[in-house]
Chain A
Amino acid sequence: QQQVKQSPQSLIVQKGGIPIINCAYENTAFDYFPWYQQFPGKGPALLIAIRPDVSEKKEGRFTISFNKSAKQFSLHIMDSQPGDSATYFCAASMGDNYGQNFVFGPGTRLSVLP
């Protein structure tokens, strides 16, 4: 019940395309859902996050869609660029993250072709 499932494992799109990465969870106590972006040779960095009281959040070209009833959330990258090529992790936590560790999905390797 603590797992976060993520798909696809890898994704290749052309520049300008809209890659979509999907995540699903079981534990309804989760109340915070961040996405992390990791470039080769670097640690993951917080990209965007959402709470379950909203269905969508946009930050620049990145959008999270959240479906509370289905216990699913997804990351959309508008007008994708080769510089977006990275590994993306979804995560979930409950309560104050000080007390609870994040649960990470297994990651999606995105390649955006020029």
Chain B
Amino acid sequence: EADIYQTPRYLVIGTGKKITLECSQTMGHDKMYWYQQDPGMELHLIHYSYGVNSTEKGDLSSESTVSRIRTEHFPLTLESARPSHTSQYLCASSAPGQGVRGYTFGSGTRLTVV
């Protein structure tokens, strides 16, 4: 069972609204990520963080911003939502470790901007 939680699961919001997608993990992982997933499946990295007070832009340009004030919390904010922001947003975390390396993903937030 994944210990990474995303809220809300679904969100329908009007154009121009400010929204924050929440992501929290209880595993103590330092590194966290936000991915945008197309309806056609492909995963696009939009933001990541190495730890508290660290934020980096990913491979796909995004109008969203992130913050990392606490290790367990990595929220994503859209200041002014537009229909082009309609997508699924996946949060993930990882930690340096031995053996199997991998990301733990949350269940995602499906955002629809009308």
B74 at the interface (CB under 8 A from A): no
Tell me if B92 and A107 are in contact (CB < 8 A).
Answer: no
Q: What bracket does the count of chain A residues touching chain B fall in?
A: 20 to 34
Given contacts A96-B96, A98-B94, A106-B41, contact A46 B107 (CB under 8 A): no
Tell me which of B45, B100, B105 contacts A49 (CB under 8 A).
B100
CB distance from A95 to the nearest CB of B (A): 10
Q: What bracket does the count of chain B residues touching chain A fall in?
A: 20 to 34
A87 at the interface (CB under 8 A from B): yes
B43 at the interface (CB under 8 A from A): yes
Bound Cα distance A105, B42 (Å)? 8
Given contacts A43-B2, A49-B100, contact A98 B31 (CB under 8 A): yes
Given contacts A42-B108, A43-B90, A97-B96, contact A49 B41 (CB under 8 A): no
Tell me if A101 and B43 are in contact (CB < 8 A).
Answer: no
Can you name 8 A-B pairs with beta carbons within 8 Å? A36-B105, A43-B92, A43-B106, A45-B105, A87-B41, A89-B43, A96-B96, A107-B41
What are the nearest 7 A-B pairs in CB distance? A43-B105, A98-B96, A107-B41, A46-B102, A97-B101, A106-B42, A104-B43
